[in-house]
Structure 1
Amino acid sequence: MGEMMLEAMQSALVQFWSEPCTESTRRWQWLSDLFKGALLISLSDGQSMLKLEREQMLTLRQIAHCPEKSARVAAYGADCTEA
């Protein structure tokens, strides 16, 4: 019975997070955008409480703005961050 309950819970979670929270945005996309915004705010000049080197902060910004390498190359050039 425990395995059946686990499978049902997994299915319910997948269904919940796949449903739209607005007409065009799914819940997982909304949560992703929320986390991305929080990360970018925390990496803002003068706002960061993180103990990161400037290069580390720039790397995180590039990845947050452009998760796909092709988009990073287009935005930041061929020597963009590798991820």
Structure 2
Amino acid sequence: ISKLNDISWNRNNSNERTHSVAKKKENELGVFDLMGNVYEWCHDWYGYDYYSLKKKVDPKGPKSGKYRVTRGGGVEQ
């Protein structure tokens, strides 16, 4: 957990607010902000089988629905 706190904003250290980018240490690959901080609420409709679709690059989800999806690096512990 402490290593995660070093490289990401999450429930344990964010005070439940967003933070500016590159304020944490880089990860082992030298990349900042790959996880944590916020999710992005997308315009896509939720589809239970979305990630099992054959097309892996920009798969098309449902044309309509009841729920929108969130994507991104929000970390909850």
TM-score range (shorter-chain normalised) is under 0.3
TM-score by length of 2: 0.24
Which structure shows the bigger proportion of residues in helix conformation? 1
Which of 1 and 2 has higher RCO (CA within 8 Å, sep 6+)?
A: 2
User: What TM-score, normalized to structure 1?
Assistant: 0.23
Q: Which has the higher strand share?
A: 2
